C-alpha cells in the first residue's frame, strides 16, 4: 500500500478502505450498471483506457487514478487526487471511452459517498429481479434511485451519471 500511495498519491480514505476491505472480485450489479472495483494488487496494472496506458491518452491527468471499471462498457471509475478534502477523500468520476476527448462526469463528491451510492443502488435493484429489463424498467429504476442519491450527494445527482 505504501508503494501505491507514493506512486499514485492514493488518498487516506481510499487507503483505509483497501486496508480494511481490499476488494477481490467485487462487482455491484444494478439494472443500469455493473461497477467492478479493483483489488490493490491489480491497481497499477489497471491504469489503462481501452488497452492503452492512461498516461498516453490525450487529456488524461496524472492525478486521476482508476479504481474500478464498468463491467458493461469498460468505462473507468477514477479518483481525482488533485481535489483532496480535509478528511483525505476526493471525488470519483467516470468518462466514456471511444470518444475523441475525455469528458469526466462526477459520480460522487467523495469516495465515501461513492460507496454509499453503490450500496443504495444495489438495495433499490433488489426489487427488479435478474431478468433482462426494457427501457421502461430502467427508467423506473433510475426514478426510484434519484431521490436516494439526492440525500447522499446532490452534486452527483445533478451531474446525471446515475440517473
Nearest CA-CA partner of 106 in 120, 116, 92, 124: 92
pLDDT in tens, 53-65: 888 888 899 999 9
CB atoms within 10 A of CB 54: 19
Higher pLDDT, 133 or 99: 99
Q: What is the pTM of this model?
A: 0.91
Alpha carbon distance 146, 163 (integer Å):
6
pLDDT in tens, 121-163: 999 988 776 655 677 888 899 999 999 999 999 999 999 999 8
Domain boundaries, the chain: 2-159
Instruction: State which H helix or E strand residue 142 sits in.
Output: helix 135-152
| Greatest pairwise CA separation for the chain in angstroms | 47
- For residue 154, the model assigns a pLDDT of 97
For the chain, the helix, strand and coil percentages under 3-state DSSP, each to the nearest 5: 40, 20, 40
CB half-sphere exposure, 142, CA atoms < 13 A? 14
**Residue 129 in grid coordinates:** 429481479
pLDDT in tens, 71-83: 988 999 999 999 9
2-159 is classed CATH 1.10.101: no
Amino acid at each position: 500500500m505504501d508503494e501505491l500511495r507514493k506512486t499514485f498519491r492514493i488518498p487516506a480514505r481510499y487507503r483505509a478502505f483497501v486496508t480494511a476491505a481490499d476488494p477481490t472480485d467485487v462487482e455491484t450489479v444494478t439494472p443500469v450498471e455493473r461497477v467492478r472495483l479493483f483489488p490493490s494488487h491489480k491497481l497499477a496494472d489497471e491504469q489503462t483506457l481501452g488497452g492503452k496506458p492512461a498516461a498516453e491518452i490525450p487529456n488524461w491527468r496524472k492525478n486521476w487514478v482508476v479504481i474500478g471499471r464498468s463491467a458493461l462498457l469498460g468505462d473507468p471509475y477514477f479518483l481525482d487526487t488533485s481535489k483532496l478534502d480535509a478528511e483525505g477523500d476526493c471525488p470519483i468520476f467516470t468518462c466514456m471511452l471511444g470518444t475523441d476527448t475525455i469528458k469526466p462526469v462526477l459520480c460522487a463528491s467523495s469516495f465515501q459517498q461513492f460507496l454509499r451510492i453503490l450500496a443504495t443502488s444495489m438495495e433499490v435493484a433488489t426489487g427488479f429481479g435478474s431478468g433482462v429489463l426494457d427501457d421502461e424498467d430502467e427508467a423506473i429504476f433510475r426514478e426510484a434511485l434519484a431521490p436516494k442519491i439526492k440525500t447522499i450527494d446532490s452534486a452527483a445527482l445533478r451531474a446525471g451519471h446515475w440517473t
